[in-house]
Amino acid sequence: MDELQRKVEQAREEVAKRIVGQQSVVEQLFVTVLADGNALLESNPGLGKTTMVRTVAEVTDLTFSRIQNTPDLMPSDITGTEIIRESDTGREFVFEKGPVFANVVLADEINRATPKTQAALLEAMQERQVTAAGETYELPDPFFVLATQNPIDQGGTYALPEAQTDRFMLKLLVDYPEYDEEQTIVDIYTKGSETVPVERALTREEIRAAQRHVRDV
């Protein structure tokens, strides 16, 4: 257990290389991951929500995909769809998996998608599976949806239905950084490198082991 705690702390330190401040939000994100839940991050645009989630995925040994939500996004763009594929025996329908088939799914600006598309994530978040064309497909284990949204009073947003907000274990508010933190951000990101490198600190098996410890508490 002590080794797992050390690894989690190391992962948080790796995230801090790229995300200045926001220690409480980062800590709560790792709480979500270790508790096998989903999290919703809300703030005004440009405060690093997307970078934060992507970095959490990078410091873990987990597959990552991003869903950029827009008003014209269709449910099949998330879950996948059947396509016709040529084979030696002729044409056949094959299910092409969508971006939801990853360990960490970043649903970026989720409240810019229509309610119909938002609902496509419901089954995945609750049941950890996707049903398409009468078939059920299991999602990878572990599986997390870390979603971001802009304040609902901004134009072009759709309020999340109550059934979906209930699927998020935590709602995290990302606030503006302090003045000295802004200075640090400027110093880091004006040195010619667009992305600060981070190292992988947690493996998939270590995350599963930590989740088992959490369930035993």
pLDDT digits (tens, 9 = 90+) for 118-171: 888 877 888 888 887 778 889 998 898 988 887 765 556 777 878 778 889 998
pLDDT digits (tens, 9 = 90+) for 48-96: 788 888 888 888 888 889 999 988 999 889 988 888 887 777 788 788 8
The residues with which 147 forms a beta bridge, in sequence order, are 40, 107
Q: How far apart are CA 63 and CA 80, in angstroms?
A: 17
Residue count (the chain): 217
The answer to the question of residue 200 being in a domain is yes
Which domain CATH number covers 33? 3.40.50.300
Token digits for 111?
């409240």
pLDDT of residue 100: 93
The residues with which 173 forms a beta bridge, in sequence order, are 42
Instruction: Give me the residue label for tokens 């947690």.
Output: 202
pLDDT digits (tens, 9 = 90+) for 102-123: 999 999 888 888 888 888 887 7
The answer to the question of residue 99 being in a domain is yes
With the CA atoms of 26, 31, 32 and 37 taken in that order, what torsion angle do they form, in degrees rounded to the nearest 10? 180
Residue 120 dihedral angles phi and psi, to the nearest 5°: -65, -20
Q: Which domain holds residue 193?
A: 2-211
CA 13 to chain CA centroid, Å, is: 19
pLDDT digits (tens, 9 = 90+) for 83-94: 888 777 778 878
The answer to the question of residue 216 being in a domain is no
What residue type is assigned to position 80 of the chain? G
The answer to the question of residue 54 being in a domain is yes
Name the more confident of 206 and 163: 206
The answer to the question of residue 217 being in a domain is no
Q: How many domains does the chain have?
A: 1
Q: How far apart are CA 140 and CA 143, in angstroms?
A: 6
